[in-house]
Amino acid sequence: MTAVAVIVGSLRKASFNRRAAQALMAVAPEALRMEIVEIGDLPIYDQDLDDENRPPQAWEAFREKVKGFDAVLFVTPEYNRSVPSVLKNAIDVGSRPYGKSIWDRKPAAVMSVSPGAIGGFGANHHLRQSLVFLNMPVLQQPEAYVGGAASLFLDDGSLAKEGTRDFFAAFMKAFADWIAAVG
């Protein structure tokens, strides 16, 4: 069984991205054990706290938790053509102190979800730039820019359209295959 950390770049409990993450988890192959790792309580990264050997407990708990996963799935909205600050902060917290990155060599996949037509393209690619530097092999295909998010979900959070469910399942199958190939 492969353990996959799911990092959601939106803090809203009913966000489209949280719903998408839950939908992806529901259609994932049985070989993947997936868990959402919360990032909203992480204090803003300040290197002085690591340099002075006094990192906040929330940083240490996050780092320790993510270390236990084999791969990472990022599901994020787009804010101002980039990733939300809370997601960038989690990436920074996990990549420090220098030389002790929790992200190193973990296979990754990115899905961006947006009400807009371009489906968070900018956030998706900005995130991929960071993941290259963090030495995370990122699933290249299928690309996942999910637009029109307001019409994708039913009131209970489930997917409204069979075609979306099929795409999500194919994406997760490709991610499981990617993890097996590079993990």
Mean pLDDT of 50-75: 98
Q: Which residues pair with 43 in a beta bridge?
A: none
Domains of the chain, residue spans? 2-182
CB 18 within 8 A of CB 12: yes
Mean pLDDT to the nearest integer, 172-180: 98
CATH number of 2-182: 3.40.50.360
Secondary structure (3-state) at 5: strand
**pTM score, two decimals?**
0.97
Edge-to-edge strand list for the sheet holding 32-36 = 32-36, 2-8, 71-76, 108-113, 145-146
> CA-to-CA distance for 74 and 40, rounded, in angstroms?
14
- Taking only the tens place, the pLDDT of each residue in 11-55 is 998 899 999 999 999 999 999 999 999 999 999 999 999 999 999
- Helices 16-27 and 162-182 pack at an angle, to 10 degrees, of 70
